[in-house]
Amino acid sequence: MTVRPTAFVNARLLDPASGYDGPGAVIVVEGVIADVVRGADPGALSPELEIVDVGGKALLPGLVDIRVKTGEPGAEPKETLKSAGLAAAAGGVTSIVVQPDTHPVADDPAVVDFILRRARDIELVHVYPAGAATKGCAGERMAEIGLMHDAGCVYITDADRPITNSKVLQRVLAYAKAFGVLVAHRPADPWLSAGAAATSGEFAGRMGLPGVPAIAEKIMLERDLALAELTGARLLVDQITTAAALESLKRAQDRGLAVVATTSINHLSFNEVDIGDYRTFCKVDPPLRSEDDRQAVIEAVASGQIAIVVSAHAPAPAEDKRLPYDEATPGAIGLQTLLPALLAFHHEGRIPLLDLIRTVTCAPADLLGLPAGRLVKAAPADLVLCDLNAPLVIDADKLLSKSKNSPFDGRRLQGKVLRTLVDGRTVYRAE
């Protein structure tokens, strides 16, 4: 597909990697950024360029979402790579990392290769597989980490399943270090978490829901940090959500451990009370926390202690959600709502705009060594044109994911994606 060279002019450029927020233009040629011009006047432009005047709207790097679940392979009615790609494009997400807990599990190079080939055939957004840390994500035998890394997986994880056997996790970390592979791990004590549907406390008690104490996150994180220090491996803390765990994380970071943490947009945006009248679309894993925990997580993002925000996109069909609360499948879709939900903290004055955008662009890209997340010459032309102030009301039925389990359904947000480009190709344009 031949794409005519294009100049996006009269834009507000937002580039967290360089710290630039101001007027400018971006010139795209053959799928890459040929030039970035800062200032209101782009100067003389080649007559071969298609000129697109964006009317002062924001132009930023495509978002990089490093925690996305799909149903492919094995559970395509929930979500396919194509439907996830369509939702991502509509949300301004140009790179996604898909989790390995599919059917079959992505615990060998053949499944990794399948995902990469399917993504190339679909030609929507960039898709990167995460490989399983253990065979079948069962936490017992180490998977083929080196071979999966060679095949193209960008990190290893057992997704929602903590590796409870410390000896197994030690081996995974040590082996991954030898290959320079990042290990992501969910900090959740499995015995305290067993059977839980909410966070323990007064609210869960009044609702009659089985709960998990927030301390379960800190307990497992302390072990993970100790093993990371022992092995010298790179550790990604998968969705930190409590103030107590943040204290442990800070001590580790202050000691210079190679540890980075993510949190989800759900835990930034909602607290345990949002469950309301047993609203299963708000049942996620980890469960929503107290308001004090939510505020602590917001402050950690603002300070940079939490470097990356993820959508934690986890599709679940209606038959898995429309059940009694403690029986409903946890998870929420989030690819299409990630950007406007994140912008809420800019509009509220809680977190500076460039700092917010950094958590979903250059920070995750740099962590995984991806050629994305910045407005710079020779970078892939993965771009998002956005009206930062456009109001919108989220209608889950109109979201492009095959599953519609969005906790943002009905919420009023600001920030509309107008156009998304991947390698210079327009993969989404708003009506």
Per-residue H/E/C for 24-83: EEEEEECCEEEEEEECCCCCCCCCCCEEEECCCCEEEECEEEEEECCCCCCCCCCCCHHH
Select from 3.40.50.12780, 3.40.50.2020, 3.20.20.140, 3.40.640.10 the CATH code of 62-368: 3.20.20.140
What does the angle CA 330 – CA 331 – CA 336 come to, to the nearest 5 degrees? Answer: 165
Other C-beta atoms closer than 10 Å to the C-beta of 395 total 12
Q: How far apart are CA 319 and CA 289, in angstroms?
A: 25
Tens of pLDDT, residue by residue over 289-346, are: 999 999 999 999 999 999 999 999 999 999 999 999 999 999 999 999 999 999 999 9
Asked whether the beta carbons of 179 and 145 are under 8 A apart, the reply is yes
State residue 151's pLDDT score: 97
pLDDT for residue 431? 85
Number of C-beta neighbours around residue 35 at 10 A: 15
pLDDT at 45: 86
What is the per-residue DSSP string for 218-254? HHHHHHHHHHHHHHT--EEE-----HHHHHHHHHHHH
Per-residue confidence (pLDDT) for residue 4, from 0 to 100: 87
Contact 201, 262 (CB under 8 A): no
pLDDT tens column, 128-172: 999 999 999 999 999 999 999 999 999 999 999 999 999 999 999
pLDDT classification of 3: cutoffs 50, 70, 90: confident
pLDDT tens profile 190-205: 999 999 999 999 999 9
Phi and psi of 78, rounded to 5°? -75, -50
**Maximum separation of any 2 CA atoms in the chain, in Å:** 68
Report phi then psi at 291, rounded to 5.
-65, -35
- Which residue, among 148, 224, 219, 149, has the nearest Cα to 184 in the 3D structure? 224
Query: Per DSSP, what are the bridge partners of residue 23?
Result: 12
Please write the tens of the pLDDT for every residue from 37-82: 999 888 888 888 999 999 999 999 999 999 999 999 999 999 999 9
Tokens 């759900």 appear where? Answer: 266
Give every CB contact of residue 178 below 8 A, 6+ residues apart in sequence: 146
Q: E strand or H helix at 374, and its extent?
A: none
- Superfamily (CATH H level) for 6-59+380-429: Urease, subunit C, domain 1 (2.30.40.10)
Domain ranges in the chain are: 6-59+380-429, 62-368
Q: Mean of the per-residue pLDDT values for the chain?
A: 96
* Phi, psi (degrees; rounded to nearest 5) at 408: -85, 0
Res. 288: pLDDT tops 60: yes
Q: What is the CA radius of gyration of the chain?
A: 21
- Give the contacts of 41 (CB within 8 A, at least 6 positions apart): none
Strands 20-29, 6-15: pairing is: antiparallel
In residues, how long is the chain? 431
Handedness of CA 370, 373, 379, 380 (dihedral sign): positive
Q: Confidence band (pLDDT; 50, 70, 90) for 2?
A: low
Both tokens assigned to 186: 């969910």
Q: Which two tokens stand for residue 361?
A: 């662009």
Element counts in the chain: helices (H) and strands (E): 14, 19
**Which residues have CB under 8 Å from 256's CB, separation 6+?**
none
Q: What is the pTM of this model?
A: 0.97
- Whether the per-residue pLDDT at 1 is higher than 70: the answer is no
